[in-house]
Amino acid sequence: MMKRFFWNKKKSLFINTLSAIMIGGGFVMCLSLTGCKPSSTGKTDPPPTTFTFSLPTIPDILTDPTDRANYLANHYWDRFPFADTILATEPNTEQLFVDYIDILTYASTGQAEQSIRNMLEHTQKEESGRTWRHFLSLFEKYLDDPNSPYRNETLYIPVVMSILSRSNLDEAERDRTREQLSMMMKNRPEYLATDFVYTLANGKTGQLYDIQADFLILLFYNPDCHNCAETVTALKTSPVIRELLAKKTLAILAFYPDQDMDSWKKHRSDIPSNWINGYDAETKVKNDGLYELRAIPTLYLLNKEKRVLLKDANFTQLENLLRYPEHINDSVQKAN
């Protein structure tokens, strides 16, 4: 069953324009439970619990957009009743959560991570664990699901760390979570990518680190994958990428990590001749877990030293970074 992702329905108030988040401050959301029901005695039960959510007031002294986003991220949940499991798991709370994730994208990485840690600590004060697990499911859905428009591995790492910090975690779940964290920590932005061998159609082999270019797009793909075909088309038709390829400041390695060689050979002509089109003859990348390939296609952007600039990026992120290379340092710090 396909998951339904909430898109922020109030972007005009405080998402599309950063000033609306930082200065507007007029957003209020009301969460109400079901209405009153007659009791068995014929009397009316007390009114349902109602909670009115409002954004915290940002001090006027904070004028820098990132500082203001940091303040919002750190104080977003200050008045939320985490101890009330009914309100905490009420469907409308998911929209509040999505708005929170949006705000984190404007905050500095360190402050966003700290905000998540603080928020999860608050959820753990509810003794049954229901609130904590509910918000964990939302973090997983929006930050970790490959199909989520908000997917963000960097922000999901403190969530995984929160899971591991639980003393009552059973060993099987602890082992799965440790393995998940281990894979997430591989090939992180700012770190050197793992080297591997690729094989060409003529049988010759090469290594990732032998490719010489200022930038290298690493595309893990499957020749029969529809989304892969769309990504290949986007890369082929991008004026930015075509210009950089022509200048030889960019190289592209399209790498097939599986074993269906008949399919790879059948679709070999789909890959442009000025790309490197290789496959994994020994399937070491997949079998040895050298890269986390949870969804195909997977895009990486590396620099000349094979340091990761973007991990598991979408095409728009990759193209924008190549269009404005002067912003690379800021983008890498943000991703890390």
228-258: per-residue pLDDT in tens? 999 999 999 999 999 999 999 999 999 999 9
Confirm if 284 and 275 have CB atoms less than 8 A apart: no
**pLDDT, position 51:** 74
**pLDDT, position 54:** 82
Pairing of strands 298-303, 215-220: antiparallel
Per-residue pLDDT for 164 more than 50?
yes
Question: In the structure, what pLDDT confidence band is assigned to residue 15 with cuts at 50, 70 and 90?
Answer: very low
The rounded distance, in Å, linking the Cα atoms of 195 and 186 is 12
Interval 202-229: pLDDT, tens: 999 999 999 999 999 999 999 999 999 9
Mean pLDDT over all residues of the chain?
A: 85
**pLDDT, position 202:** 95
CA angle 46, 50, 56 (to 5 degrees): 150
Interval 275-304: pLDDT, tens: 999 999 999 999 999 999 988 999 999 999
Per-residue pLDDT for 21 more than 70?
no
Structure-model confidence comparison of residues 93 and 21, the more confident one: 93
**pLDDT, position 330:** 54
Whole-angstrom CA distances from 65 to 12, 105, 161 are: 17, 12, 29
Confirm if 193 and 217 have CB atoms less than 8 A apart: no
Confirm if 300 and 187 have CB atoms less than 8 A apart: yes
The rounded distance, in Å, linking the Cα atoms of 181 and 175 is 10
Confirm if 228 and 221 have CB atoms less than 8 A apart: yes
Q: Tell which residue, 30, 82, 75, has the closest CA to residue 56.
A: 75
Per-residue pLDDT for 325 more than 90?
no
Q: Tell which residue, 250, 223, 266, has the closest CA to residue 321.
A: 250
The three-state secondary structure class of 313 is strand
Share of the chain above pLDDT 70, in %: 82
Confirm if 158 and 116 have CB atoms less than 8 A apart: yes
**pLDDT, position 48:** 57
Interval 47-62: pLDDT, tens: 556 778 888 889 999 9
Whole-angstrom CA distances from 10 to 25, 80, 125, 151, 184 are: 12, 19, 30, 20, 32
Amino acid making up residue 29: M
In Å, how far from its chain's centre is CA 149? 8
Q: Exposure pattern of 39-57 as b/e (b: 16+ CB <10 Å)?
A: eeeeeeeeeeeebebebee
**pLDDT, position 19:** 46
**pLDDT, position 55:** 83
